Amino acid sequence: MSQGYAIELYFDPALENQVLKAWNVFARRQISTYLINNESRPHITLFSTTSSIDSTKLEPIIKSFSSKQEPISLSFSSIGSFSSDDNALFLSPTPSLSLIQLQLQLCEVIKKEGFEIGEEYRVDSWVPFCSVAVDVPKSRISEGFLVTSTFSLWSFGANLLVLDSSAD
């Protein structure tokens, strides 16, 4: 059994590179290097849990679900932050029926197999986002918003190509 589990939606290479450029801007300005240092990959988390999960049972289900999915279009339309200890800045995708349905269907498949869906991933409370900076010093949050507002991702259409699962 794995300790913690996440299912992430990855972007097509063009959008992924745009987000990586944003991460590099934050690193060069010494605002945040967390995502680069942790060798993260730009994504939107569709499901995550810190509970122990039998990944050998879940992974075939996810692979089957993923193989039936068509790429969907995505554009980022707003900047946000979570007021928590990690001071994260993120890009929010424009809500689309296809993105919401994908996440809802995924959670239904997971729940049907007996896995619990945490409150933050239920359809009425899920907030899709792509992190651009984590552990931003409180004194630099406003600068982070200004930097993020200069990125040219707002109307960038992209296909979400890979649905992947990873054990923490």
Q: Cβ(110)–Cβ(55) under 8 Å?
A: no
Sheet strand arrangement including 88-93: 76-82, 88-93, 130-133
- C-alpha to C-alpha distances, 54 to 1, 5, 13, 110, 119, nearest whole angstrom: 5, 10, 31, 12, 20
Looking at domain 2-167, its CATH superfamily turns out to be Cyclic phosphodiesterase (3.90.1140.10)
- Predicted local distance difference test score (pLDDT) of residue 165: 54
Is the model more confident about 86 or about 97? 97
The structure's pTM equals 0.87
Average pLDDT over residues 68-78: 86
- Predicted local distance difference test score (pLDDT) of residue 90: 95
- Predicted local distance difference test score (pLDDT) of residue 137: 94
**Residue 58: what residue type?**
L
- Predicted local distance difference test score (pLDDT) of residue 131: 95
Judged by average pLDDT, the poorest of 23-32, 46-55, 130-139 is 46-55
- Predicted local distance difference test score (pLDDT) of residue 161: 43
High-pLDDT (> 90) share of the chain, %? 48
- Predicted local distance difference test score (pLDDT) of residue 168: 47
* Model confidence at 26: pLDDT above 80: yes
High-pLDDT (> 70) share of the chain, %? 88
Average pLDDT over residues 27-47: 94
Paired residues of 76 in beta bridges: 93
- Predicted local distance difference test score (pLDDT) of residue 125: 93
Give Cα 125 distance to the centre of its chain: 15
pLDDT in tens, 97-132: 999 999 999 999 999 988 888 899 998 899 999 999
Is the model more confident about 1 or about 81? 81
